[in-house]
């Protein structure tokens, strides 16, 4: 009792737990105030948090405050807490990393990382001899060790800082942003690996200990693979793992990390690798991303950035001109080396100079590993010199962060989405898709489309699945919190009900069968503003096309039944305001076995037809079709409708007529649109003559004959792809819009989606982005 009383009652503020709680509270409050103020001038949160720590820093060096809040007995306690936080956010970064992009662009990101790091190492080595004398090092301290530390300090890049800047300034999805994040991680892992080798080189049995670290890391990776699969199959009716199951995974991570630390090595690299190789599919990864992401991004990293500034004593450094000069040398050296090395590499890679300057500054940000480096150097230098190194690191990060923020605001074109449509892209370019669903019955058609687009090995693609949930007024309940069925879930998590579980299970089964990873998103808004969430997410992710489900669903008798009117209104608003191309999927042909929606479950070949009448939307439809033509389960045929003369009313098929006849019809006078002619001639020469894609021409006089032709092929294909419109007043579709029901689908799409039009295939209507249309016209 006396021991407990002395711990929590006597000198309560000196207790490490309470003193740290006061520090964290102060940092969070002040950083929030700074964040609100600096956000108005475009500065990101991490910079505001470091500045908040800098403001509180001088206060922490007042004797009374230092004795009260920073007692010597609490130093080890702070190190343990920071250790726990460090291993968890490195595990999270590994879990979130897009390894596929890094592997596809390994040469670029590795050269950018090595350029700044090698130049930093050379500059750091050149000045380390001078700093060894100026910083009053301890006698008999090995010079090479100090030189290596300075080289690491100058070469290092903080991946947490780069990741947070990319997220705060919204350039994480851009090409230059992804290069920056991947290069930062490579630089950080390389510096930490060199630091581990340097620290343990003279220790006995360092080779066996290093091999042991590799073995235990590999063992945890293997255990996680089986553990994640087992946990995914438990409690399939729940959204997330239970707390004990989550703690089991984190306990395994902590055990591995502690063993590596006991052996004398730093465990940051192992934690990152464990997260990187953790199975990304299923409920386990979804729970880790949700639970860890919220706590780390909202609490751990803000405190970490603030504590970085809190340790600095600016007043002490600027009291001495010599210390201020040494600090300035380190800052200029770091900026110059990173900027110079990155620009040289970017010139070699033919990356624009503006992007090279941006990469140089963002890769110059510093973080927690620098504290490890200068902590090792502190064993050879006096405390005042340690403060010089720390202040130079913090100020260097602030300067680089502020410049990065201004570059992002001033160079918007650098981070803009250059792929707002599919047609201008090459087949080798990555295609990013944002697929949306409102309820579980729409998932099968969406996932079938995703599988088809991922079938080609030549064309890489990334898909995001966004669950759109209507925000309704909350129903008041008299139940207490602990009396609710899902008391462990917040109100926000409860939106979507059982639909969320069904969609998650369908997506998990899809990933398990196809090995295609689909990243999940969620939007909860009232229907009038739901389109804004879709458009904003598409802009942030820089996708090329948004896939939306039709507001009608097919009944057992084959008729289409209207769903919520809010879904239709949302689709219409997305079509008007989308920052990229849009596709609407009308699921039909459920009686057909196997239909296109059963593409995932069936190995049968699906016959797909793309209808071409002319115009930018139809060209976009063909560009989409080319992507799915690489799938082994898709047999694609392009059907081009042409206006026939009075004496010509026939069908010319690619397998029944001479190539010259088809090329003549493509380049003849039937179509006045030269862009369409040029596009189709190029398409025919590249894909039809080689036999990759089938080609059919149908000659019609008017819209009535077009409808008859569509009825003839209604049972031949499981999916029809057509552009929304953009053809002007075409004779091919005259009269088809007299009985339109859904004008947002376009003339042909509305006919194919009509309940009165009996076809047995689903329909995909594509609308090309307006800016892409203008760019192609000017090209």
State how far the Cα of 174 lies from the Cα of 430, in Å rounded to an integer: 12
593 three-state secondary structure: coil
> Which H or E element spans position 275?
helix 268-276
Q: What pLDDT score was predicted for residue 75?
A: 65
Residue 136 near residue 382, CB atoms below 8 Å: yes
Measure the CA–CA gap between 268 and 369, rounded to whole angstroms.
9
Yes or no: say if 26 and 68 are a contact pair by the CB < 8 Å rule.
no
Confidence of residue 381 (pLDDT cuts 50, 70, 90): low
Contact 358, 412 (CB under 8 A): no
Least confident of 28-37, 210-219, 736-745: 736-745
How far is residue 506 from each of residues 290, 499, 549, 551, 607, measured CA to CA in Å? 19, 11, 16, 20, 24
Predicted confidence band of residue 670 (pLDDT cuts 50, 70, 90) = very low
Alpha-carbon distance of 725 to 743, in angstroms, equals 10
User: When comparing pLDDT for 204 and 15, which is higher?
Assistant: 204
Q: Report the predicted TM-score, pTM, of the whole model to 2 decimal places.
A: 0.86
Q: Give me 717's structure tokens.
A: 């294909």
d(CA 475, CA 669): 65
H or E segment and range at residue 434 = strand 431-437
> What does the block give as tokens for 563?
């769903």
Q: Which two tokens stand for residue 341?
A: 């090395």
Are residues 131 and 150 in contact, defined by beta-carbon separation less than 8 angstroms?
A: yes
Read off the tokens for 624.
């989409």
Per-residue pLDDT at 24: 77
**Residue 273 pLDDT exceeds 90:** yes
Tell me the average pLDDT across 44-69.
Answer: 77
Mean pLDDT across 608-622:
91
Highest mean pLDDT among 23-27, 36-40, 51-55, 617-621: 617-621
CB burial string 30-54: b at 16+ within 10 A, e below: bbeebbeebeeeebbbbbbbbbbbb
CA distances from 685 to 416, 471, 541, 659 (A): 33, 51, 34, 10
Rounded to 10 deg, the angle between the 16-39 and 45-60 helix axes is 130
Q: Distance between the two ends of the chain, CA-based, in angstroms?
A: 83
Q: H/E/C letters for each residue in 639-655?
A: EEEEECCCCCCCEEECC
C-alpha torsion 554→559→563→569, nearest 10: 100
Q: Return the DSSP state at 138.
A: P
Measured distance CA(562)–CA(741) in Å, rounded: 11
pLDDT at 575: 94
Q: Is the pLDDT of residue 264 over 90?
A: no
Give residue 42's region: left, alpha or beta (phi > 0; psi -120 to 50).
left
pLDDT for the residue 45 = 85
Q: What is the pLDDT of residues 311-344, one digit of tens each?
A: 777 777 788 788 888 888 889 989 999 999 999 9
pLDDT-based confidence at residue 509 (cuts at 50, 70, 90): confident
Tokens found for residue 450: 């995703």
Q: Please report where in the chains the tokens 């569509």 appear, as a residue.
A: 710
Q: Which of 161-170, 320-329, 377-386, 532-541 has the lowest mean pLDDT?
A: 377-386
pLDDT at site 562: 80
534, 580 contact by CB (below 8 A): no
Please state the rounded mean pLDDT for residues 695-702: 88
**pLDDT band (50, 70, 90) for residue 238:** confident
Band of the pLDDT at 78, cuts 50, 70, 90? confident
The mean pLDDT value for 79-83 works out to 79
Comparing 602 with 557, the larger pLDDT belongs to: 602
pLDDT score, position 486: 46
CA distance 614 to 673: 8
How many other C-beta atoms are found inside a 10 Å radius of the C-beta of residue 575?
18
pLDDT at residue 382 is higher than 60 = no
pLDDT tens-digit map of 438-492: 988 889 889 988 888 887 777 888 999 999 998 876 544 555 444 444 444 444 4
pLDDT at position 437, please? 94
Q: What is the pLDDT of residue 482?
A: 45
When pLDDT is cut at 50, 70 and 90, the band that residue 668 belongs to is very low
Per the CB < 8 A criterion, the answer to whether 305 and 50 are in contact is yes
Beta-strand relationship, 719-723 and 606-612? parallel
Q: Binning pLDDT at 50, 70 and 90, where does residue 140 land?
A: low
Coil vs helix vs strand at 243? helix
Q: Is 70 exceeded by the pLDDT of residue 493?
A: no
Q: What integer is the mean pLDDT of 106-133? A: 89
Higher pLDDT, 777 or 737: 737
Q: Please, what is the average pLDDT of the chain?
A: 82
Query: What is the predicted pLDDT for the residue at 726?
Result: 61
Place of tokens 């009652």: 9
* Nearby residues of 391 by Cβ (< 8 Å), 6 or more positions away: 312, 313, 314, 317, 327
Question: Is the pLDDT confidence value at 133 over 90?
Answer: no
Query: At what angle are helices 45-60 and 383-410 packed, to 10 degrees?
Result: 150
Residues of the chain with pLDDT > 70, as a percent, come to: 83
CB distance 135 to 381 below 8 Å: yes
For residue 7, what pLDDT is reported? 38
Give the confidence band of 137 by pLDDT, cuts at 50, 70, 90. low
Lowest mean pLDDT among 44-53, 116-125, 671-680: 671-680
In this model, does residue 645 exceed pLDDT 70?
A: no
Cβ neighbours of 756 (radius 10 Å) = 9
What pLDDT sits at residue 474?
58
User: Mind listing the pLDDT tens digit for each residue in 19-36?
Assistant: 777 777 878 888 888 888
Q: What is the DSSP string of 396-429?
A: HHHHHHHHHHHHHHH-HHHHS-S-SSSTTS-TTS
Write b or e for each residue in 237-264: b if 16 or more Cβ atoms lie within 10 A of its Cβ, otherwise e. eebbbeeebbeebbebbbebbebbeebe
Cβ atoms of 152 and 191 closer than 8 Å: yes
The more confident residue out of 633 and 774 is 633
- pLDDT value of position 584: 94
Confidence of residue 706 (pLDDT cuts 50, 70, 90): confident
Closest CA to 402 of 745, 683, 38: 38
Please check whether residue 602 is in contact with residue 594, taking contact to mean a CB–CB distance below 8 angstroms: yes
Do the Cβ atoms of 549 and 445 come closer than 8 Å?
yes
């Amino acid at each position: 009792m006396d021991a407990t009383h002395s711990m929590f009652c006597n000198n309560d503020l000196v207790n490490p737990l309470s003193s740290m709680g006061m520090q964290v509270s102060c940092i969070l409050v002040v950083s929030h105030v700074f964040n609100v103020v600096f956000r108005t001038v475009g500065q990101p949160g991490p910079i505001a948090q470091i500045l908040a720590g800098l403001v509180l820093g001088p206060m922490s060096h007042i004797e009374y405050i230092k004795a009260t809040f920073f007692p010597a007995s609490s130093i080890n306690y702070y190190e343990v807490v920071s250790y726990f936080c460090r291993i968890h956010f490195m595990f999270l970064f590994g879990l979130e990393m897009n390894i596929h992009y890094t592997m596809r662009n390994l040469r670029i990101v590795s050269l950018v990382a090595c350029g700044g790091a090698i130049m930093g190492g050379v500059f750091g080595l050149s000045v380390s001899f001078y700093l060894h004398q100026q910083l009053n090092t301890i006698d008999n301290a090995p010079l090479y060790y100090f030189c290596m530390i300075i080289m690491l300090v100058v070469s290092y890049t903080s991946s947490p800082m780069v990741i947070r800047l990319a997220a705060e300034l919204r350039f994480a999805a851009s090409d230059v942003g992804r290069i920056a994040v991947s290069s930062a991680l490579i630089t950080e892992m390389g510096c930490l690996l060199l630091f581990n080798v340097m620290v343990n080189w003279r220790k006995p049995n360092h080779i066996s200990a290093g091999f042991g670290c590799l073995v235990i890391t590999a063992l945890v990776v293997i255990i996680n693979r089986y553990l994640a699969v087992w946990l995914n199959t438990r409690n399939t009716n729940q959204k997330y793992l239970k707390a004990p199951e989550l703690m089991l995974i984190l306990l395994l991570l902590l055990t591995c990390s502690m063993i590596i630390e006991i052996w004398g090595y730093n465990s940051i690299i192992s934690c990152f690798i464990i997260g990187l190789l953790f199975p990304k599919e299923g409920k386990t990864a979804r729970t880790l991303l949700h639970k860890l992401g919220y706590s780390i991004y909202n609490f751990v990293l803000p405190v970490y950035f603030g504590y970085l500034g809190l340790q600095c004593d600016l007043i002490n450094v600027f009291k001495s001109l010599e210390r201020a000069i040494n600090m300035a040398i380190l800052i200029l050296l770091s900026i110059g080396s990173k900027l110079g090395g990155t620009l040289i590499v970017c010139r070699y890679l033919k990356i624009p100079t503006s992007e090279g300057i941006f990469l140089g500054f963002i890769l110059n940000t510093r973080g927690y590993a620098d504290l490890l480096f200068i902590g090792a150097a502190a064993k050879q230098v006096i405390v005042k010199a340690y403060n010089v190194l720390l202040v130079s690191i913090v100020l260097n990060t602030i300067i680089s962060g502020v410049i990065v923020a201004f570059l992002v605001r001033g160079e918007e074109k650098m981070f803009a989405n250059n792929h707002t449509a599919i047609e201008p892209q090459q087949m080798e370019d990555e295609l990013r898709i944002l697929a949306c669903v409102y309820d579980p019955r729409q998932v099968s058609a969406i996932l079938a489309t995703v599988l088809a687009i991922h079938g080609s090995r030549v064309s890489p693609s990334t898909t995001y699945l966004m669950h759109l949930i209507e925000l309704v007024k909350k129903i008041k309940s008299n139940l207490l919190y602990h009396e609710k069925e899902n008391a462990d879930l917040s109100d926000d998590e409860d939106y979507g009900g059982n639909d969320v579980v069904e969609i998650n299970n369908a997506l998990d089964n899809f990933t398990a069968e196809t090995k295609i990873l689909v990243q999940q998103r969620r939007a909860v808004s009232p229907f009038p503003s739901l389109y804004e969430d879709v458009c904003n997410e598409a802009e942030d992710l820089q996708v090329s096309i948004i896939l939306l489900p039709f507001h009608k669903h097919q009944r057992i008798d084959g008729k289409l039944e209207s769903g919520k009117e809010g879904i239709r209104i949302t689709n219409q608003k997305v079509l008007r305001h989308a920052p990229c191309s849009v596709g609407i999927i009308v699921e039909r042909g459920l009686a057909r076995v196997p239909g296109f929606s059963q593409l995932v479950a069936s190995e049968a070949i699906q016959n797909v037809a793309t209808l071409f009448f002319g115009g930018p939307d139809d060209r976009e439809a063909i560009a989409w079709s080319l992507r799915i033509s690489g799938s082994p389960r898709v047999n694609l045929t392009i059907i081009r409708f042409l206006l026939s003369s009075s004496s010509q009313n026939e069908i010319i098929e690619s397998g029944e007529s001479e190539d010259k006849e088809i090329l003549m019809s493509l380049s003849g006078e039937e179509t006045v649109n030269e862009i369409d002619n040029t596009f189709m001639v190029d398409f025919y020469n590249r894909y039809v003559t080689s036999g990759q894609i089938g080609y059919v021409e149908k000659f019609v006089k008017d819209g009535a004959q077009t409808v008859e032709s569509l009825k003839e092929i209604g049972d031949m294909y499981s999916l029809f792809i057509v552009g929304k419109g953009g053809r002007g007043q075409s004779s091919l579709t005259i009269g088809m819009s007299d009985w339109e029901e859904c004008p947002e689908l376009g003339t042909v799409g509305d006919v194919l989606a009509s309940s009165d039009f009996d076809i047995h295939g689903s329909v995909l209507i594509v609308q090309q982005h307006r800016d892409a249309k203008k760019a192609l016209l000017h090209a």
